[in-house]
Every structure is written in C-alpha cells, then in structure tokens.
Amino acid sequence: AQRVTQPEKLLSVFKGAPVELKCNYSYSGSPELFWYVQYSRQRLQLLLRHISRESIKGFTADLNKGETSFHLKKPFAQEEDSAMYYCALRRNSGNTPLVFGKGTRLSVIA
Amino acid sequence: EPEVTQTPSHQVTQMGQEVILRCVPISNHLYFYWYRQILGQKVEFLVSFYNNEISEKSEIFDDQFSVERPDGSNFTLKIRSTKLEDSAMYFCASRSRESQETQYFGPGTRLLVL
C-alpha cells in the first residue's frame, strides 16, 4: 500500500524567509511524486512533479529515494504563496490514482 | 484554458436520499476520476473510469456508489442512499491519454447530508 505523510498541518513563515514543506512516502515500487496547491477558494492545481525536475513559482522539490522524501522548498517566501499544499504519489504504471497526504497550510506573514 | 467543471457547487440532502454529482471533464480527456475530502481529512480516491468502464475503485466506493458517462461530455457520480458520513467535498478530475501524470481537478461539490 502507498502512503504519503505530511507531518506539519500548519507552517507559518515571514515574507522573504525560506520555506520547506515536508513530505515522506512509503511505497515499495517506483513512485511518481507531485505537489498540488490549493489557493483560497480555488481548485487543486498541479504545482510540480518530480519527473520534470522543474521550478515553478520559485518552488523546487527533489525526490530522495534513500530517505523516501519529496520536500518542497522555496528560498524566499512571498505572501501569495499562502495556500494549502498537498503532496501526492502515483504508482508508476497504467491508469493509477493519486494518493494524497493530509496537506500543509502555508501562511506567509508580511 | 479549458477547465473541469462540476455542478452543483453545494448540495444539501436528507439521509437516505439519492444524489447525483455532475462533472464535465476537459473535452479531449479520456481518463476520469472521483475523489472526496471529508472536512479536515485528506483527499481520498474513490474511482477511476476509462473507456466506459471502471478502471479501479477504492474500498470507499461500495455498492451505494456508481459512476456513469451518460453522454459525450458528462461524468456523474451517484450515491444511491446517502449517509451522514458521505458529507464531504467531492472532486472530479480528468487527464489526457498523452499526459499520464497530470490530473486536472474540478472545483468540487460540497455535499452535506443531514
């Protein structure tokens, strides 16, 4: 079975401070990892995925298979980053669903 | 940019009543999903659907639930006899054949069972 753990329900940081949202997973196979973001009153939207190794809105995330982690990082937080962030995993085969963590609410304080 | 749409945005129903939640996936997408999120809990997978049949379903998706693609655009989730614990936000998602990774989510339907 797959599991995604986001240990922090709420993370508050000051504007300009670095951000790290933690995500750990358990899955015996080769997973695909994602970060989804949900801004206030908006839908869930894909922020980034590990296979593309991209930086979106200044956020990056590196898959660490040894530590089974996929932490989301940003060097300088902005107020508009305040949102709910969900880490998700998908089995790397066929039409498989996403398994989500419980989410972390990021609050960036001016 | 095309988006997944869901109706209604909110629904209140009495326990034991049937509800149908509607979704219009992005037009060229072929894979469809329903997820739900009970207040304060994680987003949970219910069912996936492709080529007019269920691909996978979770333990939550019992005999009270069904899905249908009645025409070329709509994708519906029916709960036959709602229970209090069905109260949740229900999200529809879709993806294209080409993009195995990226699921696009609708805004959700908030269902309240009294």
Q: What is the pLDDT of residues B92-101, one digit of tens each?
A: 999 988 777 7
Q: Which residues in chain B have Cβ-Cβ distances shorter than 8 Å to A43?
A: 3-4, 91, 105-108
User: Which residues, including other chains, have CB under 8 Å from residue B1's CB and lie 6 or more apart?
Assistant: none
Q: What is the rounded distance in angstroms from the CA atom of residue B39 to the CA atom of residue B52?
A: 31
Q: Does B101 touch chain A (CB under 8 A)?
A: yes
CA neighbours closer than 13 Å in the CB half-sphere of residue B3: 12
Query: What is the reported pLDDT for B7?
Result: 96
Q: What is the rounded distance in angstroms from the CA atom of residue A11 to the CA atom of residue A104?
A: 7
Q: Which residues in chain A have Cβ-Cβ distances shorter than 8 Å to B31?
A: 95
pLDDT in tens, A64-95: 989 999 999 999 999 999 999 999 999 877 77
Burial environment of residue A60 by CB neighbours within 10 A (0 to 12, 13 to 18, 19 or more): middle
Strand, helix or coil for residue A79: helix
Query: What is the reported pLDDT for B102?
Result: 86
Question: Which whole-number Å values give the CA distances from A95 to A18, A53, B29, in the listed order?
Answer: 36, 22, 13
Query: What is the reported pLDDT for A20?
Result: 97
φ/ψ of B113, rounded to 5, equals -105, 120
Q: Does A31 touch chain B (CB under 8 A)?
A: no
* Mean pLDDT to the nearest integer, B75-91: 97
Residue B2 binned pLDDT confidence (cut-offs 50, 70, 90): confident
